Amino acid sequence: MNPSADLVNRLWRLCALLRKDGVTYQQYVTELTYLLFLKMASEQKDESRIPEQYRWVALKSASETEVLQRYRQALIDLGDGTKIADRSVVAIFQNAATIVREPANLRKLIDAIDGLHWFSEERDAFGDTYEGLLQKMAEETKRGAGQYFTPRVLIEVMVQLMQPKAGEVIQDPAAGTGGFLIAADHAMRAATDDYFELSPKQQTFQLQSALRGLENVQDTFRLLLMNLHLHKIDPDHLNLADTLSPSGMQPKYKEADLILTNPPFGPAGGPPTRDDLTITDRVSSYQLPFVEHCIRALKLGGRAAVVVPDNVLFDDGRGKLLRQRLMSWCDLHTVLRLPTGIFYAQGVKTNVIFFTRADEEAPTEDATKAVWIYDMRSGAPAYGKTNPLKEADFDEFVRAFGNDPLGWADRKDEGEAGRFRRFTREEIAARSDNLDISWLKDTSGDPEDGLETPEDIAAAIELHLSAALVEVRALVEELGVDVIAPAIEEAAE
């Protein structure tokens, strides 16, 4: 077992100390965020930003009668911008509160973290361990499909194919815990000797300005900041805000060279409030407006890889108009039909769409001449916690995609018996611009047949209800029946 995996398992077992108090997995990882930040600052001799009474050694040496009170006060003061000058520290601890009730439990957590060996001969393990904790949290969390953690294997494949380069602006408009941005940073570091090949000005750009994005959930944003901090990234262009609000129209979130993202699925709290989303401005779901944002946020010639649910490929009405705009303004060169079960919910059907913004602001003819579709879903094994997605599972697709991030590598249509096929723009138009195209017989069976635990069954039911609500909303919008729309919104709440 590698050192970081061992650390993850040891830290995860400590969750048992708090589970009896009704603590959720995300609450536990959030609690570890605070403690790991203080521990890391101590290990790396970087405690100048932290008041002496709240440093790791002070917590470690506090008596059991005072340790919880000292820790609670530390969370309050470290999130107070009038007491702490460092912006990143305040952002991580802002509105922080502990869920630990018993001083003895806090003492056990502190002692356990302090006793772990955080460094190997090759590298420190803080960043890798934190990534592992986030994945554990996602695997154990049964929530709506739009909030599922993107498997790191899928992230690595998308980054590998899109080939991020130093000097580019890279955006994730639904940043989550930062998986795409960190993987892109790793790829660029590997290509530039950890940025040492760059000039000081270029290094500053990479560490502070290259990575950009928004996250709309406070607790997730906290995890994002901590994850970036542990990977030695301190960008100035990641903020707590809604991409579908006017915040997403700021200049720093436009002109992206590369967008990598897995936007939320399911119904939103309301339609977008941005003036520029002219196609999806009245759509009460997340996925369609996020795709329109990606189209508009790319610079001319910029490229994107976006995870989307199946309905983005086949919805009529606004969905069809959006696909037409996508294929007009962008070269939608590749669609990857993903297997089910990889987002920790058996019924979620997803795809990755790869596209490049045209070199013209408004092309006179469609930028998409043909779409290549790779079916990784039909006949695929059942994926899940007992059979996780592996890098080798993508090998055939990576070879078929080729080494050109714009999709212009030599490719071979494998015909009706193969997994990779080419469909011309004319053929797609003849299908009423429906991109939900399959040709292989799916012998994998219903992915929900194997559901056993109440949590899995509840998650599947929630997913189906959410999908049904999206379809009803789409019908209402299509018919223009504004009278019953408020009733639907009220029912959703």
pLDDT tens column, 365-411: 999 999 999 999 998 887 776 777 899 999 999 999 999 999 999 99
Nearest in space to 157 (alpha carbons), one of 179, 136, 135: 179
Q: What is the mean pLDDT of residues 146-163?
A: 85
317 Rama sector, left if φ>0, alpha if ψ -120 to 50, beta otherwise: left
Task: Name the residue with tokens 């212009």.
Answer: 408
303 or 8, which is more confident? 303
Does residue 45 contact residue 119 with C-beta atoms inside 8 Å?
Answer: no
156 Rama sector, left if φ>0, alpha if ψ -120 to 50, beta otherwise: alpha
The CATH class of 142-430 is alpha beta
Q: How far apart are CA 227 and CA 310, in angstroms?
A: 30
Helix, strand, coil distribution of the chain in percent, nearest 5:
45, 10, 45
Q: How far apart are CA 171 and CA 297, in angstroms?
A: 9
Answer whether 3-133 and 142-430 agree in fold: no
Task: For residue 435, give the 3-state DSSP assignment.
Answer: coil
Q: What is the mean pLDDT of residues 38-64?
A: 89
First to last CA, the chain: 45
Nearest in space to 94 (alpha carbons), one of 107, 109, 106, 82: 82
Q: Residue 274 above 70 pLDDT?
A: yes
Q: Residue 326 above 50 pLDDT?
A: yes
- Report residue 231's pLDDT band, with 50, 70 and 90 as the boundaries: confident
478 or 195, which is more confident? 195
The share of the chain scoring above pLDDT 70, in percent, equals 81
Name 482's Cβ contacts closer than 8 Å, sequence gap at least 6: none
Greatest mean pLDDT among 7-11, 51-55, 221-225: 51-55
Nearest in space to 265 (alpha carbons), one of 144, 138, 143: 144
* pTM of the predicted structure, to 2 decimals: 0.82
CATH 2.40.170.20 fits 3-133, yes or no: no
pLDDT of 123: 46
pLDDT of 483: 45
Greatest mean pLDDT among 21-25, 96-100, 257-261, 340-344: 257-261
Q: What is the mean pLDDT of residues 76-97?
A: 90
pLDDT of 145: 37
Q: How far apart are CA 250 and CA 171, in angstroms?
A: 13
Does residue 313 contact residue 351 with C-beta atoms inside 8 Å?
Answer: yes
Nearest in space to 222 (alpha carbons), one of 91, 97, 80: 91
Report the Cα 9 to chain-centroid distance in Å: 23
pLDDT of 122: 43
